[in-house]
Chains A and B, each alone.
Chain A
């Protein structure tokens, strides 16, 4: 018996309405107190192409991708053979009995369950269009009965799901009950031997929420004081802008019903970041969200932000690249590009959130960093983190005050008597700025992307130019004081260390436990930002063997790390997942074991 420990894999067509059904399943499991995740593997298409949804329930909270599917539900005749191939001895294969196919294809070592979904849908509705949608809710019913999901919980979730369209709820509840009833009548003998069961845990998810990273980001931006968002639609980042607009309309409206924010859908990503620069220059807490192709177009303004020292934030939800790549698949492959985004000598501060809670946190602190350091901050999320369901701690707004950085108003200018836009007065390489509109004779300065001296005057002087570049490099050093530090789990007796970042974190704990079962104990450091801080160096020194786990082909973070610390070249090994599917603990473990085997 695998109580509260299984992976359910559902094959459907996109645009068929299965998303709602899958959401209902995930949410019901969550409400019953189980640790659950839901990952949607979808095509870059609106209707009719194969899509898979994977729900993982795990008592230890290991919720990253698992390719070991216990229950496979196949409702898509096109992928039928592929789905059968995913079965293993002991797995359950539920399929639509109406499909005409060669029954010998079925894996005889799996538990194969035929359900007449098409006929059951006829019971549910007279409308052919509605039947197509309701078939999904019918499978929710069948599955609920088999795994033992509490019906009342599921029906409550269905009610919530269709809250905005109350007339839709009753036919869905009816369809759900048809599925349950069928399973009760025809699958009771199977149910009694069914391996994969759900047992509710009272209070199991107290203090937790089920949320995707993009929604958490939107909420973070609302609470982080973002007042300007410019964006160009691109998967998988669009839901951040739409979410920000949605929540800001509720939470950032003043007593006169006016908006304390602006959202502008730009004509392209070049304009999107240029608008952000205009806003940051004028005193806005401004952000744009995008993905790889958009990031490419933003490189021009990224360099401007760095060189002219204008606060700006790019929230990049990474997908498979290069070029259009895999628009609906996940990767961590913009790291190297983002770190140096622009022509010329450029280094950017990067933030690497690993879960929705951190998306929420960084969506607030990114503006503090941008305004404090007067530069571009690039946050690297990814599709897995941004668009899938994650079980995470309840979000709590940060209590710290906003850091608006070194801005001089007219009173401060009076006190100082002198203002030089790019002069380092505090020894931290961060100069002072004024905002346009400041009514003071000394306030104005000329912002330019060309060579400039401390007073922002045009300069081609070799000394001045070199000085500017050197100061910007020192400013990047200053950034170490402000960026989030890595999270380190270090036992000095253990000499093997893992390093990961971003959504890859979700599989590490499980991988550590799998490695432990093979007598390999590991330390773990999760990088949360660039520049690397001293803790990273310390970790590299303390561990004899390091595995840097990331989701790209070229070991991008490893390149950045070894560029900074080349002395550790021999001890850092890569574990790389780059097939577009989110990384699994099984994969990491297998890779590490094979390297360990070769080394010992």
Chain B
């Protein structure tokens, strides 16, 4: 009995959902996300052989290597996760498309692809592992960095932050949520719900960078980096950190101490939030942001939208598996068409 409890609908154990060992920094929020995602996939009704993992470039985009070894994966180009996923999903609509991207990958170099993927409503799970910083190139601002926050050089980000959830809502995305990498419970619930969505599901996951994130008021951290980690560029030393975990209730806030010494205030969306009311949700998001808090939870769901596959009116057989006779018309039709060219 205890055996069968460890086996899911596909006769697979949790071990079958693992991947290679992570090469990210110890304590990286992305590793927590990978763990939660692995667990959620195990709990879901998704056949791992039918999963296509797609990512761009960056720390987040490396993570598809760290879970679900039994699935094909396409670690593409910087900012190109969205179009690559689009081509793959349309060509084989039986694939469950799982996109992993970061804030640089999505909010800057790939923002066009992000916007148009949502416009088309490509059925997929679009995960953004958002740390507000370019980790892999060692600590430059990303477009999701808060206005006024500092980077390692001491410069303050002078520009408004891009809130990918607000943007997704504005574009009509039918599933929009935000969570925190350390909130296993909430993130699992959100992922499981998102995996059932029939269109694009966008989940923005705040994920602290233990090595380069330096938010507002982090002079301590700046000093710390300068004193302790500046040799890092030469010798590649990264101080190991503890994973950050949170557990709090709906409608409440919680303070998260970030690795750089700054504090993040997360606010879980209140119980009874109407996930079908887009206008209210947009308003709530703006209000929370203006008050300096980060709202988490499932913001909006709309299951009554057509997706790009519906519009394309694709054959039941995935395009990738069409038999030749469905790909090569009878020559007699050509003869008929060519009469118009005489």
A residues apposed to B, CB below 8 Å: 30-31, 160, 205, 208-211, 215, 219, 222-225, 227-228, 230, 247, 250-252, 254, 256-264, 266-268, 270-272, 274-286, 300-301, 304, 394-397, 401-402, 434-441, 443-450, 458
Assess whether A448 is in contact with B75, with CB atoms less than 8 Å apart: yes
B337 at the interface (CB under 8 A from A): yes
Assess whether A441 is in contact with B319, with CB atoms less than 8 Å apart: no
Assess whether A395 is in contact with B73, with CB atoms less than 8 Å apart: no
Q: How far is the CB of A214 from chain B (nearest CB, A)?
A: 13
Which B residues touch A401, using CB under 8 A?
324
Contact with A along B173-207 (1 / 0, CB 8 A): 00000000000000000000000000000000000
Choose from A262, A397, A441, A448 the contact partner of B334 (Cβ within 8 Å). A397
List 12 A–B pairs whose Cβ atoms lie within 8 Å, in order of A's numbering. A223-B328, A225-B328, A260-B326, A262-B312, A274-B87, A275-B87, A278-B87, A281-B88, A283-B320, A402-B327, A437-B318, A443-B72
Q: How far is the CB of A418 from chain B (nearest CB, A)?
A: 16
Which A residues touch B80, using CB under 8 A?
270-271, 274, 300-301
Assess whether A274 is in contact with B52, with CB atoms less than 8 Å apart: no
Assess whether B334 is in contact with A278, with CB atoms less than 8 Å apart: no
Choose from B77, B316, B337 the contact partner of A304 (Cβ within 8 Å). B77
B246 at the interface (CB under 8 A from A): no
Which B residues touch A445, using CB under 8 A?
72-73
Assess whether B83 is in contact with A395, with CB atoms less than 8 Å apart: no
Assess whether B92 is in contact with A275, with CB atoms less than 8 Å apart: no
A223 CA / B74 CA spacing, docked (Å): 29
Nearest-neighbor residue (CB-CB) of A310 within chain B: B74
Which A residues touch B47, using CB under 8 A?
439
Assess whether B322 is in contact with A279, with CB atoms less than 8 Å apart: no
List CB contacts (< 8 Å) of B45-93 with chain A. 47, 49-50, 52, 54, 64-65, 69-77, 80, 82-92
Further pairs besides A274-B113, A396-B334: 17, Cβ < 8 Å? A227-B319, A230-B83, A254-B326, A259-B313, A264-B90, A270-B83, A271-B82, A271-B86, A277-B84, A279-B87, A282-B92, A397-B331, A402-B328, A437-B95, A437-B318, A444-B73, A447-B72
A438 CA / B329 CA spacing, docked (Å): 27
Assess whether B72 is in contact with A444, with CB atoms less than 8 Å apart: yes
A518 CA / B101 CA spacing, docked (Å): 67
Which B residues touch A254, using CB under 8 A?
315, 326
Determine which residue in A280, A301, A436 has the highest number of CB atoms from chain B within 10 A of its CB, and name it: A436
Assess whether B116 is in contact with A267, with CB atoms less than 8 Å apart: yes
Assess whether B313 is in contact with A258, with CB atoms less than 8 Å apart: yes
A230 CA / B87 CA spacing, docked (Å): 8
A215 CA / B341 CA spacing, docked (Å): 10
Choose from A250, A259, A272 the contact partner of B315 (Cβ within 8 Å). A259
Which B residues touch A435, using CB under 8 A?
72, 92, 320
Which B residues touch A276, using CB under 8 A?
87
Q: A258-B316, A304-B77, A447-B75 are in contact. Are A278 and B328 (CB under 8 A)?
A: no
Q: How far is the CB of B332 from chain A (nearest CB, A)?
A: 10
A468 CA / B321 CA spacing, docked (Å): 30
A397 CA / B91 CA spacing, docked (Å): 24
Q: A227-B322, A252-B327, A270-B80 are in contact. Are A444 and B74 (CB under 8 A)?
A: no
Nearest-neighbor residue (CB-CB) of A284 within chain B: B91
Q: How large is the interface on B (under 10, 10 to 19, 20 to 34, 35 or more residues)?
A: 35 or more
B5 at the interface (CB under 8 A from A): no
Q: A230-B87, A278-B74, A402-B324 are in contact. Are A446 and B338 (CB under 8 A)?
A: no
Q: How far is the CB of A459 from chain B (nearest CB, A)?
A: 13
Determine which residue in B73, B83, B116, B120 has the highest number of CB atoms from chain A within 10 A of its CB, and name it: B83
Which B residues touch A437, using CB under 8 A?
49-50, 52, 72, 92, 94-95, 318, 320
A95 CA / B86 CA spacing, docked (Å): 55
B333 at the interface (CB under 8 A from A): yes
Which B residues touch A402, using CB under 8 A?
324, 327-328
Assess whether A271 is in contact with B342, with CB atoms less than 8 Å apart: no
Which B residues touch A208, using CB under 8 A?
342
B115 at the interface (CB under 8 A from A): yes
Assess whether A282 is in contact with B73, with CB atoms less than 8 Å apart: no
A301 CA / B89 CA spacing, docked (Å): 18
Which B residues touch A448, using CB under 8 A?
75
Q: How far is the CB of A318 from chain B (nearest CB, A)?
A: 24
Q: How far is the CB of B11 from chain A (nearest CB, A)?
A: 12
B314 at the interface (CB under 8 A from A): yes
A68 CA / B43 CA spacing, docked (Å): 76
Nearest-neighbor residue (CB-CB) of A272 within chain B: B83
Contact with A along B146-157 (1 / 0, CB 8 A): 000000000000
Which A residues touch B342, using CB under 8 A?
30-31, 205, 208-210
Q: A282-B95, A436-B72 are in contact. Are A397 and B88 (CB under 8 A)?
A: no
Which A residues touch B70, using CB under 8 A?
441, 444
Q: A250-B333, A262-B312, A434-B72 are in contact. Are A228 and B319 (CB under 8 A)?
A: yes
B240 at the interface (CB under 8 A from A): no
Which A residues touch B217, using CB under 8 A?
none
A224 CA / B329 CA spacing, docked (Å): 9
A330 CA / B312 CA spacing, docked (Å): 34
Assess whether A222 is in contact with B329, with CB atoms less than 8 Å apart: yes
Which B residues touch A266, using CB under 8 A?
83, 116
Assess whether A278 is in contact with B324, with CB atoms less than 8 Å apart: no
Determine which residue in A257, A263, A395 has the highest number of CB atoms from chain B within 10 A of its CB, and name it: A395
Q: How far is the CB of A241 from chain B (nearest CB, A)?
A: 14
Determine which residue in B54, B329, B331, B340 has the highest number of CB atoms from chain A within 10 A of its CB, and name it: B329
A30 CA / B341 CA spacing, docked (Å): 10
Which B residues touch A284, using CB under 8 A?
87, 91-92, 319-320
Q: A275-B84, A435-B320 are in contact. Are A444 and B326 (CB under 8 A)?
A: no
A260 CA / B314 CA spacing, docked (Å): 6
Q: How far is the CB of A70 from chain B (nearest CB, A)?
A: 26
A215 CA / B337 CA spacing, docked (Å): 11
Assess whether B83 is in contact with A275, with CB atoms less than 8 Å apart: yes
Which A residues touch B85, using CB under 8 A?
278
Which B residues touch A439, using CB under 8 A?
47, 49-50
Q: How far is the CB of A134 from chain B (nearest CB, A)?
A: 24
Q: A227-B91, A262-B312 are in contact. Are A449 and B75 (CB under 8 A)?
A: yes
Choose from A250, A251, A262, A274 the contact partner of B319 (Cβ within 8 Å). A262
Q: A271-B82, A446-B75 are in contact. Are A278 and B338 (CB under 8 A)?
A: no
B112 at the interface (CB under 8 A from A): yes
A-B residue pairs, 7 tightest by C-beta: A278-B87, A283-B320, A436-B72, A225-B327, A275-B87, A274-B83, A271-B83
Nearest-neighbor residue (CB-CB) of B341 within chain A: A209
Nearest-neighbor residue (CB-CB) of B64 within chain A: A446
A228 CA / B88 CA spacing, docked (Å): 10
A245 CA / B72 CA spacing, docked (Å): 30
Q: How far is the CB of A257 from chain B (nearest CB, A)?
A: 8
A394 CA / B312 CA spacing, docked (Å): 32
Assess whether B116 is in contact with A228, with CB atoms less than 8 Å apart: no
Contact with A along B99-134 (1 / 0, CB 8 A): 000000000000011011000100000000000000
Q: How far is the CB of A599 from chain B (nearest CB, A)?
A: 44
Q: A284-B319, A444-B72 are in contact. Are A274 and B84 (CB under 8 A)?
A: yes
Assess whether A219 is in contact with B334, with CB atoms less than 8 Å apart: yes
Nearest-neighbor residue (CB-CB) of B339 within chain A: A209
A396 CA / B116 CA spacing, docked (Å): 38
